[in-house]
Amino acid sequence: MAGRRTLTIIKPDAFGAGKAGLILALLEQHGFTVKAARAMHLTTAQAGEFYAVHRERPFYGELVEFMTSGPCMPLILERDDAVATLRTVIGATDPAEAAEGTVRKLYAESKGRNAIHASDSDENADRESRFFFAEADTLV
Ligand code: CMP
């Protein structure tokens, strides 16, 4: 059965532009509730580890640089079928291909500066949630 929790990050472009509240409101309108939240400025080591799966990709350096360019906001969100639903709500990686009304269509500039991250599987949602939050920081 699909899990009820997923991990999202409002990225430095959207957070720095003051769009965190609008994005969170949109996610709540889609039935998500916040189970954990923090605002933080990732170090190069933290961003590099979080995106380690992309280490061999040509955009890895650019991705790490962008994710450390300013504060971001990781959140654990809950609703039925959380991973698949959130990925639909945020839209395609490239905002030019994102559907109308999605977070990336509304707030992203490019494939690199694309406003928001969302876990792509229940397994990664669990791993990524543990990356940012201790059990004690998360609502039951
Ligand atoms: P995200 O969902 O955070 O997961 C991996 C990220 O890599 C992705 O969003 C994009 O921000 C980034 N990414 C993917 N493809 C490219 C690309 N071609 N150029 C720059 N960044 C990319």
Along the 140 residues of the chain, how does pLDDT read in single tens digits? Answer: 689 999 999 999 999 999 999 999 999 999 999 999 999 999 999 999 999 999 999 999 999 999 999 999 999 999 999 999 999 999 999 999 999 999 999 999 999 999 999 999 999 999 999 999 999 999 99
Residue of 42, 50, 64, 111 to mutate, ligand 1, most atoms within 8 A of C-beta = 111
Tell me the C-alpha distance between 83 and 3, whole Å. Answer: 7
Distance 138 CA to ligand 1 centre (A): 27
- How, if at all, do strands 33-37 and 73-78 pair? antiparallel
Q: Which domains does the chain have, with CATH numbers?
A: 5-40+72-138 (3.30.70.141)
Task: Look at residues 86, 119, 116 and name the one whose alpha carbon lies nearest to residue 17.
Answer: 116
Strand, helix or coil for residue 56:
coil
Residue 9 has phi, psi (to 5 degrees) of: -130, 120
Question: 0.95 cut: is pTM over it?
Answer: yes
